[in-house]
Amino acid sequence: MQEVNLLSRYPRTKRNITQRASAKTEEHIRISSQFGEMYFDGPREYGYGGYRYDGRWVPVAEDIIKHFNLKPGMRVLDVGCAKGFLVKDLLELCPGLEVFGIDISEYAIKNCEKKVIGHIYKGEADNLLFPDDSFDAVISINTIHNLPRERCLKAIQEIERIAPGRGYIQVDSYNTPLEREIFTQWVLTAVFHDYPDGWRKLFAEAGYTGYYYWTIAE
């Protein structure tokens, strides 16, 4: 396992913690956790507040291609691909690269980028219906923490199974009690979360040998 930040060039936005904390209710969490229209394109208190392509994943795609030395003919899977923005940028930056994505959201798949139609499918992170060692890289950004711990463990094992040593997983985390408090005030969909050491223990338990990094609440 190795800690690597492949999202260092992704634009970061300042979260309005006070506004989210005052607005968040059990109903907001219930609706957001359905990952439907309200989560992606509804009001901000339910999720993204409008999830539209704006090119911000381009530098991330460039860094993924460089990190994994991806070439035409190689296969990449994005686990938790949403509307397929990263899939689109990988396809366009490396013509001939075979890129696929899965997501549990029917809404996201139905409202995906036209470029990725036929490349993204409905699926679950802890049940990847692909043969062993069938991908050259598997990316999962801010997705598996939306599962309970046992399903997180299984999802990590699945990523390792289909791309041994060639996974990249980024998850919600925090370094201090204050960061944890900020996170719990903000979070809508993460079911399992922990400090980095707790995540590393889970990765080790899963036999994970790929790369990982954290999304820290600010």
Whether residue 143 has pLDDT greater than 70: yes
Residues 6+ apart with CB under 8 A from 171: 142, 144, 145, 193, 199, 212, 214, 215
Q: What percent of the chain has pLDDT over 70?
A: 94
CA distance 21 to 217: 13
Residues 6+ apart with CB under 8 A from 163: 77, 133, 134, 135, 136, 137, 138, 210
C-beta atoms surrounding 37 within 10 Å = 16
Q: What percent of the chain has pLDDT over 90?
A: 81
Residues 6+ apart with CB under 8 A from 186: 15, 17, 20, 21, 217
The stretch 106-111 carries a mean pLDDT of 97
Cα maximum dimension of the chain: 49
Least confident of 29-33, 85-89, 99-103: 29-33
CATH number at residue 197: 3.40.50.150
Q: Model confidence at 9, in pLDDT bands (50, 70, 90)?
A: very high
Average pLDDT, the chain: 93
For the stretch 11-39, pLDDT in tens is 876 555 555 555 678 888 898 998 999 99
Q: Model confidence at 164, in pLDDT bands (50, 70, 90)?
A: very high
In this prediction, residue 185 carries a pLDDT of: 86
The whole model's pTM is what?
0.93
Provide the residue range defining the domain that includes 22.
2-216
Q: Model confidence at 44, in pLDDT bands (50, 70, 90)?
A: confident
Whether residue 162 has pLDDT greater than 70: yes
Number of domains in the chain: 1
